[in-house]
Amino acid sequence: MLDIEKLHVTVDGKEILKGLDLSVPAGEVHAIMGPNGSGKSTLSYVLAGRDGYEVTEGRASFDGKDLLAMEPEERAREGLFLAFQYPVEIPGVGNGTFLRSAVNAVRKHRGEEELDAGAFLKVAKDAMKRLGMNKDFLSRAVNAGFSGGEKKRNEVFQMTMLEPRLAILDETDSGLDIDALKIVADGVNALRDPGRSMLVITHYQRLLDYIVPDKVHVLSGGRIIASGGPELAARLEAEGYATIEAAA
């Protein structure tokens, strides 16, 4: 589903990713853990196609297509979804309106019937109930005045509604208390599917107690320096990043 080879990325003239290799097969959930400043968000931004992230070397393909050659909107239509570490506030744009147009753009691209307001509301209310969200989320402006935890829930809500093929969650656990974390993890787990891959980026092992990944990768200094099963996350928690960095 996602194949990254020797990716080098420069931001503001500074090389952040320095030859990153990563493969996430269809149906798998992979976790990326790494210390602050190791390049985790840079990786998610470059995959989503954010301006200012210059690829100087390497390649990335999504379902066999050259991901880096696609416009950001095209990536989204093809089923790439990024849940941001710092979700943006869009005052004046209703959350429901925003999400319905995004959902319908994807449905149209897939050749599926678009959802009218009533049909959208029904699916959205269902998803919000599962995620423990208040109905008024839909009528509020996108993320405006949302607490940190509400923004994170809203990201998972968007993901649930968009049914992406590849979802990247950048520190979706930060700012969540333990109850919200469980709800969000349940929401993510409910989206596990043989046709869907997920990349869960986190600083802490805690989230991975609830979203048990197929593989764990350690990102340090702009490269994947170790990969393993869920036990690698437990080892990181016990030993910290330094021993693994020293061994790499």
12-20, 88-96, 161-169, 233-241 -> range binding ligand ADP (CB under 6 A): 12-20
- Residue-wise DSSP of 192-204: -BTTBEEEEEESS
CB of 35 to Mg ion, least distance (A): 9
For residue 202, give the nearest of 130, 145, 184 by alpha carbon.
Answer: 184
The partner in contact with residue 39, picked from Mg ion, ligand ADP, none with C-beta cut-offs of 5 to 8 angstroms by kind, is ligand ADP
Sheet with 80-83: strands ordered across: 80-83, 166-170, 197-202, 29-33, 215-220, 223-228
Asked if residue 199 binds ligand ADP (CB under 6 A), the reply is no
Q: Check if the beta carbon of residue 16 is closer than 8 Å to that of residue 9.
A: yes
Cα 166 to Cα 174: distance, rounded to the nearest angstrom: 21
Applying CB under 6 A, does 39 fall inside the site for ligand ADP?
Answer: yes
The single residue among 13, 14, 36, 71 that binds Mg ion, judged by CB under 5 A, is: 36
User: Can you tell me which of 37, 72, 195, 229 binds ligand ADP, judged by CB under 6 A?
Assistant: 37
For 194, other C-beta atoms within 10 Å of its C-beta total 8
42 near ligand ADP, rule: CB under 6 A: yes
Of 41-49, 68-76, 161-169, 214-222, the segment contacting Mg ion by CB under 5 A is 41-49
Binding site for Mg ion (CB under 5 A): 36, 40-41, 85
